[in-house]
Structures are given as structure tokens and as C-alpha cells.
Amino acid sequence: MGKNIKGKKGVRASRPAQNGKRNAAPRMKKSGGGHGRINRSAANGGNSAELFEGRIDASGKGFGFLVRDDGGEDIFIPARDMNTALGGDRVIAERTGQNRGAGEARVVEITERANRVVVGTYRREGNYGIVVADNARLGSDIFIKNERSGGARDGEKVVAEIIGYQPMRRPDGEITEVLGYPDDDGVDVLGIIRSYDLKEEFPEGVRREIVSIPYSVSGQMAEGRKDYRDECIITIDGDDSRDFDDAVTLSKKEGMWRLGVHIADVAEYVRKGTKLDREAFSRGTSVYFPDRVLPMLPEKLSNGICSLNEGEDRLTLSVIMYIDNLGNIVRHKIREGIIRSRARMTYSNVAAILNGDEELAKRYADIVPMLKEMKLLAELLRNKRTARGNIEFDIPECKIILDDAGHAIDVVKYEQLVSHKIIEEFMLACNETVAEQFAREKAPFVFRAHAAPPPEKVRTLIGFVSALGLTFRGSIDEPKSADFARFLSSLDSGVSGVVNRVALRSMSKATYEPVNTGHFGLAAPYYCHFTSPIRRYPDLMIHRIIKDYLRNGEKAFKKYADEVAEVSKHSSDREKLAEAAERKVDDLKKAEFMRGKIGERFSGTISGVTEWGIFVELPNTVEGLVRTEDLPGDGYVFNCDLFRTDSSDYTFKLGDEVDIIVYKVQGDRVSFKLAE
């Protein structure tokens, strides 16, 4: 929950185990907040109409469901009443009948279109063509006149712009880009980039603007800054990392540890209101795929002047923390600084040194004593976090290995090294320290917030673990981080994996907020993201605020009061979109790897249970579906609260070990069959 190690994705839950298959009936009621219901008089005679706001979840058969903003039951919308709405569109719908469940509705107004462009496969059909969308939840193919086909050939992956809508007919479209055949190198990832409307190239205006940014730090640029160039400062990152936005140093002073965390001073080069700043805000975050990175900032900055490269002078925003032997940060200071990294260290090399690699220890003899002290301090900080209730989830992560053409050749479980933990603890300490100071200053700020899980999800967790004979001791309405931490740490290996999954699914989503509400998962009363301004706009934003404060005092705060709310909301949205795209590409590459394993047998763990089948995760984190119709016996009943499905003779539940055979791979979906 601290620094996202470059090249390593954050922990993600498996597919939800509670989403049931929908045919033509509404799904079960779900809880939530919001204001989705509207009561207004209908135009025809002033009769009262029951109207709802929400988002369309479409099927491939023309009908859809209204996912209501108020959290009530989803409402079924027949194909004849979709009124040109597609999956993802925001609409206002009117209830038309209540003959079953939540009844039916018809779309009366489309308030926001979600699908400006569609990525899919072009199919020629006589004197016209269609685009079969990659997104199966769009709910419709796109009709393409021959003169609007853009020269696409049958079977090619294309990008189509929707140019017209007509009720009960496919939308009209025009092909704007031909990506190539699906098996061509890189086309699979390029299709996802286009479908999520992510940006590869920077606009011409940005490229012209950054010409004036220097390639190196001059003496004049260092004036007025604290000079840390004589200190033993190092970077620790992944083997293939190229952008280094944090560097660390550690020493002993006055009987305490003096920890320095030096972060690239990106705000010095990305000035508010410039084209570069507007583009960085628009992107919101760098997006990491196995075969490429879509950076938030141009390479001249991200890998150049802003990257804390070994042996080069770099401008920083530095946080110096003094930590006692109990792990308490007793005082700190924040300075605009200048550093020169002594060594570009990697996670693997640091871990090897700390594990006794004599050759590497000799090569880096001058920094080995500091590395050993860093390990001791990180352990102290970690133990202190654990004691206050920090929640540690034991969920495996993976690394996807590609060949030179970008094809997946292996999927391996990612190992967290001692060096990862060192950097994680130091970044967490820095983020908390900065957040606390500026929360107390009552500064306009962008905080990282993580709310406690909602009562209904805690209730589901308690019900699930009770069925396993376990007891979760904690409040349902006011859960505490320490309750979760204590419970998860008490589990034995037999149930730890499955319970961790369910517990993770009970957690709320962390967001950026303009007010500090604390971080539940970290059990931290104050938290922000300060340490990655090269690749996250919220970090850049608060750097800008801090620099202004250091130069001008509290009077600097006024100019940011209205800005932080917009930055928080936009950054949360962009983070969510980037994570979805990264997950989609990961799934695609995992499926590509499994295409060569069809017919092979593996052992796995049931990681999700739905009414249409069970998901099985292999040790390398690849996940596939065994459909209900392929399970032995019949008459299965799905229990969403206990994450299980039962027939008269068989039971399959979350966490069960099963043997499977790889059956089929289609797109990013892997299908299994039980081996027995």
C-alpha cells in the first residue's frame, strides 16, 4: 500500500465471486448510497412516473439492465426499450411494470454516452460491414457502410467512431484506424490502448514546449537549495526501471536514525497552467503494461532531468526524518534540495547483498553498512505498523515474461524481496509524515483516503468465516483495522489464502480526496501520495503546494483551495481506468501464454464462484473458468454469501483445491475443465 514498485502491479482481487449470470431476469438487490430515483410528472397528462438514474449494463442479445445510482435492484430493460442506449451509457429510465422482481423499465433519456469509439474486429458482409466489439458488454455490433470502412480487410482489428444512432438498429459507424490482424505483433495491446482512450504520443504543443527544459542541472538552478550532494544517497529500483523518482539515505545522529527520502522535484519543471501540465493532468498517471509504458510525462523529463540518475545532479523535494529506537518519527523537515546519487541499486542486488553475496558486498563495500542499517530500520517501522493494526494481505502477484516480439512466454509468481520492504517502509513513513504536517496546517491538499469496509461486506465476511469454523472478533458497523490485522495473522496456511481473498473483497477502494480521512488499510490517521511525481499527478500537485508554502508561507494556500477537489476526483478516475487497462492487458497476455498449454493438466485453487461456473487460479496466478454445465452432476444452487455452489452430490467452494485441464482460450478468457 506504499510505493508501487515499478514493474510490479499492486495487489488485485480475483474476479468477484458474487456476480451472477443474467439472462432475462433482474439480479439480486445490492446495497449502496446515492440518489438514483427521480419522481416527476410524466409528460402525458401529468401522471406520476417512477424514474431512475443509472448506468446501462448491456447484453449481447440487445437487452440490458439499469444499474441504479441509488444502489437498488437492477432493472431489466427489454431490447425494444433500450432507445439506442449501449453498455456503459448513463441514462434516465422509467419503470414500466413490476410483474417480476424489480420489474422492467424503458430508457427515456441518455444523459452521457460512454462509447465514442469502439475497438473490434471488422467483418465484411456483402455490400456492407460490421465491427464486432471487443467489449462484449457493449450490447451491439457497429454497422459500417463500405465507403466508411477505411480500407479495412475482413478479420482486421479496427477502431470505429460511432456517428449515428437509430432505435432497434445497430449504431452507424466509421472506421478511423486499422490496427492490423489480431496475431500481428503488438496489435492486441494496441487495441486495449485505443479502447481505453489512452495516449501514446505527446501533442505537438507539448513537444515544442519542453524544448526549453534543460538536460542537466546548472549551478544557478541549485541556488537557495539545501545541498545534499556530499551524502551517501542511493536509488533502489527494479532491474528494468528507467525513471527513478525516489532516492534514500540513512545515518545515525544524536542517538537516532536520520532517514532522508529525496523525491524528484518534478514541479520545478512542470509549471502550473502550461501545456505540459495540462497534458500530465489529463493523463493522471503512467500506465504500465508488460511490453511498454505510457508515461505521464515525456521521456525528456521522466527518464532525463527528473530521473535521479546515478552520478548526476538532480533537484529534489527532500524529507529528512529523525526516528528513535521505538520507530517514532520525533521530528522532520522538508527542503528543496539538490542531490547526486552515489549508486543505482536494484532490488535483486540489495537483497543479494543482505543475504550474504560476498562478490556484490565487495563491489558495493562503501554502502553495505548503510544497507544493513536500512534493513534494521525497515523492520522496526514495519513492526510498529503491524502493532497499530496495518492490514497485510497474502495475495500472490505475477510477472509476465515476454519475448522480443512481445509475446508471453512465461508467467511467474512475483517474489517480494527484503529490498522491496525497505523501500516500501521508507516511502510509507515519508507519505504519512508529509500528510500529517499539511493536514495540521489545514492546507488545501490531495490526500490518499481509504475508508473502512461497509457493514454489509463485513457481515458477508463474518458469515463466510463462520461457515469455516472461524471467529472474526470485531464490530460490524465500526470495524477497526486492528481487528482485520489480528484475524488475518491468526490464520493457518490451510485457510489463509481463501480468507485473504474474501477479506480483500470486503475492502473499500482507496481514492484521492481533498480532505484527510485516514487510511484504513494502513491504520494510518494521515496519508498522501508524495513519492512518485514522475508518474502520478496527485504527487505532482502536492509538491507544487509544498514548494509554494516553503517559499511564501500559508498565504500560498488560497490559490489551491478550489483546485484540489478537481485534481482528487480526476486522479481517482484516471487511476481506476489505468488499473482496468493494465488488468485487461495482463489477462490478455496470460491467456496468450496458456494458448500453448491447451490439453495440459494443472492443480489450482478455486478463486471465484458464480452461478455460471467456478474460477480456478493456478500457482502462477493464471485464472480460468470451469462452466457450471461442465461440472459433474446438475442442479447446482449458487450461494453468494458463502462463495459456494452445491448440487445434490457435489459442492465447490472458494479455496478448494482442484485439478484442471486447459480446455480453450478465447481472447483474454481461459476455459478449464475438471480433470476428474
Q: Hey, where are the domains in the chain?
A: 37-112, 117-195, 204-438, 455-507, 598-674
Domain 598-674 has CATH 2.40.50.140: yes
Cell of 488: 488475518
Dihedral angle at the C-alpha atoms of 228, 233, 239, 242, nearest 10 degrees? 0
Pairwise CA distance, residues 470 & 459, whole Å: 14
In three-state secondary structure terms, 82 is coil
Q: Is the model's pLDDT at 276 over the cut of 80?
A: yes
Whether residue 668 contacts residue 188, with contact meaning beta carbons closer than 8 Å, is answered with: no
In three-state secondary structure terms, 662 is strand
Whether residue 248 contacts residue 236, with contact meaning beta carbons closer than 8 Å, is answered with: yes
Q: Which residue has the cell 402525458?
A: 44
Q: What is the mean pLDDT of residues 24-37?
A: 38
Whether residue 306 contacts residue 297, with contact meaning beta carbons closer than 8 Å, is answered with: yes
* Torsion sign over Cα 188, 191, 195, 198: positive
Torsions phi, psi for 28 (to 5 deg): -65, 155
Burial of 548-574, coded b for 16+ CB within 10 Å and e otherwise, reads: bbeeeeeebbeebeebbeebbebbbeb
Q: What percent of the chain has pLDDT over 90?
A: 80
The whole-number pLDDT of residue 17 equals: 36
The whole-number pLDDT of residue 589 equals: 96
Q: Is the model's pLDDT at 33 over the cut of 60?
A: no
Q: Which residue has the cell 504527487?
A: 539
Pairwise CA distance, residues 567 & 538, whole Å: 7
Q: pLDDT (tens digit, 9 = 90+) per residue, 559-574?
A: 999 999 999 999 999 9
Q: Is the model's pLDDT at 41 over the cut of 50?
A: no
The answer to whether 37-112 and 598-674 have equal CATH topology is: yes
| Count of beta carbons in the 10 Å neighbourhood of residue 466 | 12
Pairwise CA distance, residues 177 & 389, whole Å: 51
Q: pLDDT (tens digit, 9 = 90+) per residue, 75-130?
A: 999 999 999 999 999 999 999 976 556 689 999 999 999 998 999 999 999 899 99
Pairwise CA distance, residues 218 & 227, whole Å: 13
Pairwise CA distance, residues 557 & 346, whole Å: 38
Q: pLDDT (tens digit, 9 = 90+) per residue, 212-271?
A: 999 999 989 999 999 999 999 999 999 989 899 999 999 998 899 999 999 999 999 999
Pairwise CA distance, residues 671 & 624, whole Å: 5
Count the helix, strand and coil residues of the chain and give each as a percent rounded to the nearest 5.
30, 30, 40
Q: What is the mean pLDDT of residues 655-672?
A: 94
Pairwise CA distance, residues 627 & 459, whole Å: 28
Q: Is the model's pLDDT at 32 over the cut of 70?
A: no
Q: Read off the DSSP letter of residue 76.
A: E
Beta-bridge mates of residue 237: 346
Q: Is the model's pLDDT at 43 over the cut of 50?
A: no
Q: pLDDT (tens digit, 9 = 90+) per residue, 54-79?
A: 999 998 788 999 999 987 889 999 99
Pairwise CA distance, residues 107 & 168, whole Å: 13
Compute the mean pLDDT over every residue in the chain, rounded to the nearest whole number.
Answer: 90
In three-state secondary structure terms, 456 is helix
Whether residue 474 contacts residue 480, with contact meaning beta carbons closer than 8 Å, is answered with: yes
Q: pLDDT (tens digit, 9 = 90+) per residue, 638-650?
A: 998 888 999 999 9
Dihedral angle at the C-alpha atoms of 224, 229, 231, 236, nearest 10 degrees? 110
Q: What is the mean pLDDT of residues 572-591?
A: 96
Burial of 634-673, coded b for 16+ CB within 10 Å and e otherwise, reads: eebebbbebbbbbeeeeebbbbeebebbbbebeebebbbe
Whether residue 415 contacts residue 619, with contact meaning beta carbons closer than 8 Å, is answered with: no
Q: Tell me which CATH code domain 37-112 carries.
A: 2.40.50.140
Which strand ranges, in their side-by-side order, compose the sheet holding 256-264? 226-227, 329-340, 313-323, 256-264, 246-253, 234-237, 343-346
The whole-number pLDDT of residue 263 equals: 98
Q: Which residue has the cell 519543471?
A: 269
The whole-number pLDDT of residue 48 equals: 57
Cα–Cα distance list, 564 to 165, 420, 450, 516, 547 (Å):
38, 31, 17, 12, 15
The whole-number pLDDT of residue 110 equals: 96
CATH of 117-195, one of 2.40.70.10, 2.40.50.700, 1.10.238.10, 2.40.50.140: 2.40.50.700
Q: pLDDT (tens digit, 9 = 90+) per residue, 371-409?
A: 999 999 999 999 999 999 999 998 888 999 999 989 999
| Entry pTM | 0.87
